[in-house]
Structure 1
Amino acid sequence: MPWHHRRVSTPSTVERALRTALYDTTDATLDTAASLLAADPAADAGLDARGREFVATAWRRGWQPADLVRIVRRELDDVHVRLAAALIRAQAPHDRPRGHRWAAQLDALPAGAPPRTDRFSHATAVLELYRLLLRLPDLEPLDASAPDTSAGARDARPESRTLGRIRALLAKAEATAYPEEAEALSAKAQELMARYSIDAALLSARAAAPDAPGACRIGVEPPYEQAKAVLLDAVAAANHCRAVWNEPLGFSTVVGFEADLEAVELLYTSLLVQAEAAMTRAEAGQRAGGRKRTKTFRQSFLAAYAHRAGTRLRAAEQAAVKEAAEEQASGPAGPAADLLPVLASREAAVTDRLERMFPETTTTRLRGVSDEAGWAEGTRAADRARLRSRPPLP
């Protein structure tokens, strides 16, 4: 009988290194694996390919580019952030189109290549990143009810003039050193947001295929992330959205219709900038009076700001809806006159989407709010940044 020689396949350097390092968190195994990779330059391409596979797996688990960068920045160092950004860019040509938010996140990736040092240090950083990517938990998918065709249609449509005006107003509010001017600019931005949301709701109600609620994630970064999450929740509620905070992973998921999600992203970012600027001014005033400010002061300041801003936002939104409903009632009869039922239907759709995404949620008490001066200063700052309802349209 003829003899058949069967050749045993030898694991590649990349396979041996990953097998050594990824399933053990000790420094010894990391050093061993990094030494293997450093000694074999031919392994570089295979190591990069495995990194792209980890990124593609993260997408299947519900992660998005901004989420990945956020968790890497939170857990590791800048070199790892740049390595992750390079992998995301390398994987992007192989991904299916995922809509305008995804494209915006790709555009916002940190620029510049990761610094290349010696081969051992580079391999160590790569393996540390891969260890993190391997252990990412599953997230709730954000695009489950949003067909690709809708996302593509939005990509092809330029940003509305209204959104452009809102962005410009909020940028001016953030830049000014005068609280009264910031108040006026922010108020005008909220007026435009309210009208933008109402118009979008009425247009969708008349469409052959009405919109469905979507979702996005917004980073809630330390320090004082609990107070920031409260502020984001208040902004979301005032703009017909719902927010769920994931404290361990540093973000809130906001559920709502597209026009409202855009408003939440813009307004939360701007109010946070304004709040932090106001807090810096308040601390300077306290120091000038001889009082030393503490972490408790800042936590109390931001908590009061979030509470007061939420109250103002809800009042502004209710006034805007009431005024729009009165305008519709005094106008020609027709589908556009049914504003309140349309808004109620959209609120029910948002709640249904939220409950399907998050069947179990818990509430938490705001911690560390014990500084009376911080609470008083935060309340006054929110009053200065208050958002009133829009004036009658001409």
Structure 2
Amino acid sequence: MVIRLLSAAGININGDMPWDIHVHDEHFYPAVLKYGSLALGESYMAGWWDSPEVDETIHHMLKARLDEQIKASWALKRDILLSRLFNFQHPEQAFKNGRRHYDLGNDLFSLMLDKRMTYTCAFWEHADTLDAAQEEKLDLTCRKLHLQPGMRVLDIGCGWGSFAKYAAENYGVHVTGITISEEQARLAAERCQGLSVDIRVMDYRSMTEKFDAIASLGMFEHVGYRNYHAYMKMARTCLRDNGLFLLHTIGGNRSFTMADPWLGKYIFPNTTIPSIAQIGKAIEDYFVMEHWQNFSVYYDKTLMAWYRQFNDHWDQLKDRYDNTFRRMWNYYLQSCAGSFRARCSQLWQVVLSPYGVPGGYNIPEKQVATAEKILHS
């Protein structure tokens, strides 16, 4: 059955193509049939199978819709039911969820990411390197928010401060960044030292201050579908009537209440990828949708850049992380890249306003030497 399913996706066992699977342990077959994507990832971590290009293997599987041909196990059906009954992203649990991933170690992320440590999709339209592509994304975000010197900006899920630092340096704004990770907050404060940036460890639900603009870059995936309405209500409460809110999030083609089982178990606990319908339902009481952009093809390229940098720096990481972690992390990066390549996953930037921008919304052209102009003025 497994051989037949894989063959339908153009994947051969022990074949010569880069996406073919080489099986080292026969337990691979019954495990995948019984537990689907969870077993696929776990068996890779255990070394039961390999592929020269795991990203292409996953790409082929998803393009052939193999995930739809293997029935969900009882355990998965149970987890789906529980995700609909309980809020696994309530404030106390949210801190635990975030820390399991983002507190793995600043050394890991500093070696894998760009020089600004931007852990969200880059914008490669006019860039050839990861550093340049991330700066393009940060600048595009600032322009979409119509940032002007002196504005107060809220950065929800600020990470290691890449957006806060860029916006403060290049657009002369004051940024309040919030995160639930102590490790992120400590390094973000160090990297933003001397700038008009305030980094706080807090849950988004505790924020009540007013801001001229709000950015949420790669945070909404951790909110959970039961909290989408509360998240948008908080953003509206904290945004001035003439302000803009930019939501940058991974998106799915269909509405679900939980993430992929393997990804949820090993990488991002209790995450949920929102759909257009779920986002639309959440914003309808609070915002006007001004602009919606999909640049998901760039996440494939971003993930593969992270994959290369992680492995290029493995010698600096191997004393702290074992080989099972390396296989887990490689599977995470490559499988996600394959999902974006198959167009099963999307990346959206959505610009929202409280009452609609008078005369219509526009994205300002990129300015040259913005920081110099601010300093001169």
TM-score w.r.t. length of structure 2: 0.25
Which is greater in Rg? 1
More helix by share: 1
